[in-house]
Structure 1
């Protein structure tokens, strides 16, 4: 049954008040713990966090709106196929644990560009790394800000497209304030607090939800099937990705992007520099994996619970569509107070991720492009921080515009596109730089630009943008690429072009002395420092 007004107007005051108080408290915390010292303090918190602290912050950085809102909504609507996002997001951390975290921490200083340029020609490689970082960050932030706007629109019962666009703009501005005030130290503490609250909120909803069914999971699942048009098909693969061979291929492409994307996400990679050594970097990943796994188990129950108690039709009719499943479930279980709490936690989730993303992108531009490409290493640290803050404002404006355009799309799906960009542009060059002795500057540039360019081209000319009822521009059709996720094509292109570029560049581009130094540093940590 359609429910035009899913949340009574009189409850908006209660849940909005809870929401506003939470935002003010977190903003105060950010201001109190923020660093006002060197560029190292602003960008990587002076490498002062322990592995446990950074691991929880990593999970806070990673458990975005896609995890809390998007995956819960996807499970509510598509069942098993929606939970595949959780599996991909979790398994992906093994790439960081086994291949990247320790070597990345030992080799770099602030950004991914430090690693890629260590034994290459610094200026072109840093420029390429900064460009890929900006592209991935904006793609990721678009999803987060759209999710935040949909969440606030749900709280205020705003259904009009114009009204939701205003909400998205205001929310984006609020999030930029956190970044400008807090730096990495403030951002990290918000992420730690947010991760703890998010786990608590997910566990609380899960317990309350199971309690409504006498702690009988089978009854909950049967009720979910009754309230879903797909029936018991939601317990098996294929509701979303099994309708045709093309849909199955799209799922393979999605899986590649999810599993390989984390190893190339700039805001995740940058967190490895907030700890003092490689051992703590490894501990960070271990803590993150366990925290994330516990959360995703809860989202499985929350997703099916939303289908059982709210119903897929009501979820589809709400502001934000599928992304409203978890907040609507909270309202159904605990009324406006629980909705306010869950909405505040979800907003803090988005806030922490956006802060980390913006900080990473602005740091990459300020450190890689301004300090090392434009100023050629001759710079004042204070000016670098100022450039980073201006860059944050520009990135925020671009993300707000993008968030308005994609409003209503499933956030988990939008984030999967950012993962495709990360895996295509960054992963091949990072792995080649860390493990392939012959890899050179030409290979680095070919790998980054081919992956980034092919991914962008395929997304623009895919059903995501045009030619489908749920496309960004549904009234036109200029799509020629049939898959919604380009990873199955763009990721191999990046790896292959990196190899071809390396052989085109030749051995004369290899700096043997710097290569040997990088090998020693990445394996032992000798000579590595942050500050």
Structure 2
């Protein structure tokens, strides 16, 4: 093992040791179910804002988006724009109202004025599906990252890394619960921002802090590597890489332009339906703190996504697409490779230190996000399915938490197995699919429940199952799964649906199913119950008991 690899492994070990220590300390304060599910609602708006940032700025952000920008220019930057703008939807329509009307999970909000069992079953199913998609992205990224850093390119090394990350996330959730997971996410957010600022500063230093020069060199180098000897003649056309959205992903045909819009819709609307983000609003004591936490999150996340612009175009200018693709065809390693380059290059002490530091930060990013996802899905299974559906509310808090820990093992195991088969897919793309499912199944039911007095049980279940089935079905029959060089099954082709992202079809379908289900139901309308629900949503009165009607 070289000196660089030894340093990297040492920093990885330090990150793991720190997060495990935090988890163990936090576990001593977990005395009730509320401590496991929402940390006793004891976090300030600023703390929760940091934790939300740590939960949200995933491997897709740090690895996938910077790689997508480096390889596809403006098209890749769309991910950053979509992820950031999405927080306005969460702030204005969801955060405060959800915190006031829920207790532990998204299903608490839906079931307050509806029949418990069908709604909770549907919500729990959607939560687990979204979480699994998101977990695939994080753990696949972990395998690639560690394989690069320790010089182990074998499939066995990547598989072992995925299993190790899965085991760690299970420990975080089962031992630390929400309190431990939150502190891990806070530490991770601080590490990520610090590491990113260092790399961005050194990258801009290479261009004398002239961003226009960096963008021009990125475009020219991309054109030269694409066109070879024909570079000078066609350079103006290839400037589209930077300015016009004419990269490899979108903007070339009528179909891909629709795909571009579909992706944007999924990114902007998906955040407000992500289960691991929604449960974070329950960790603060007041509605004001919920708003404050989102404002802090917008500031931190916005700053980070602006820096991904420098990471992506800096990598394109300093490394070139060929060097990035040589290490990873999807571009997921652009940021670590850029860190090594601006630190002094391959073989230098500075490059080795910065590469190890940034890689350890990325590893911490993955650990924090997978812990949040596992907590969200295991909480939904235990609280919604086991306690309120299977046991019909006749379940002690201790038994409920025990089931949550067991389900964390099961969900973690499923995510590990699926991640072993998804390592060749771009991380940002996998997360975009998770956003599409969240926007198609969860968001319609949440918004219709919050703002439509007539909305009822059939409407909620139809919205969730309808949006979920349409979205997942279109994904299965899309070019992402079969028929293309980057598909999951390259040798087969059942890509009957032409779009890579199904959001433009599945999101309206979710709302449509919710409306049709409500209008065709014979369930008696209860305006009085909605008014009571509305008071809770706007004032927070009785928020702790919102799920115990």
Deviation at 1:24, TM superposition (A): 1.1
Structure 2 match to 1:67: 61
Is 2:529 the counterpart of 1:514? yes
Is 2:24 the counterpart of 1:16? no
Structure 2 match to 1:445: 461
In the aligned structure 2, how far is the partner of 1:496 from the partner of 1:65?
Answer: 33
Structure 2 match to 1:330: 339
Deviation at 1:320, TM superposition (A): 6.9
Check whether the contact 1:225–1:232 (CA below 8 A) recurs between aligned residues. Answer: yes
TM-score computed with the length of structure 1 as normaliser: 0.96
- Which of 473, 479, 493 is matched with 2:509 structurally? 493
1:523 counterpart SS class:
helix
Deviation at 1:165, TM superposition (A): 2.2
2:104 counterpart SS class:
coil
Q: 1:320 to 1:392 in 2, by over 3 A?
A: farther
Structure 2 match to 1:428: 444
Structure 1 match to 2:48: 54
In the aligned structure 2, how far is the partner of 1:422 from the partner of 1:56?
Answer: 22
Structure 2 match to 1:254: 263
In the aligned structure 2, how far is the partner of 1:76 from the partner of 1:9?
Answer: 28
* Aligned alpha-carbon RMSD (Å): 1.5
Check whether the contact 1:64–1:349 (CA below 8 A) recurs between aligned residues. Answer: yes
- Which of 14, 18, 24 is matched with 1:31 structurally? 24
Q: 1:161 to 1:245 in 2, by over 3 A?
A: farther
Is 2:287 the counterpart of 1:278? yes
In the aligned structure 2, how far is the partner of 1:315 from the partner of 1:171?
Answer: 25
> Unaligned stretches of 5+ in structure 1?
1-7
TM-score computed with the length of structure 2 as normaliser: 0.93
Deviation at 1:10, TM superposition (A): 4.2
Aligned length: 523
Structure 2 match to 1:293: 302
Does 324-333 or 312-321 show the bigger shift?
Answer: 312-321
Structure 1 match to 2:147: 153
Structure 2 match to 1:218: 212
1:276 counterpart SS class:
coil
In the aligned structure 1, how far is the partner of 2:3 from the partner of 2:332?
Answer: 23
In the aligned structure 1, how far is the partner of 2:216 from the partner of 2:3?
Answer: 33
In the aligned structure 2, how far is the partner of 1:450 from the partner of 1:82?
Answer: 30
- Which of 227, 235, 238 is matched with 2:246 structurally? 238
Deviation at 1:243, TM superposition (A): 1.6
In the aligned structure 2, how far is the partner of 1:324 from the partner of 1:521?
Answer: 46
Structure 1 segment 312-461 matched on structure 2, within 5 A: 312-319=321-328, 321-334=330-343, 335-461=351-477
In the aligned structure 1, how far is the partner of 2:220 from the partner of 2:14?
Answer: 38
Deviation at 1:319, TM superposition (A): 4.5
In the aligned structure 2, how far is the partner of 1:497 from the partner of 1:42?
Answer: 34
1:405 counterpart SS class:
coil
Structure 2 match to 1:3: none
1:449 counterpart SS class:
helix
Check whether the contact 1:157–1:319 (CA below 8 A) recurs between aligned residues. Answer: no
Deviation at 1:164, TM superposition (A): 1.9
1:322 counterpart SS class:
coil
In the aligned structure 2, how far is the partner of 1:213 from the partner of 1:119?
Answer: 59
In the aligned structure 2, how far is the partner of 1:307 from the partner of 1:176?
Answer: 37
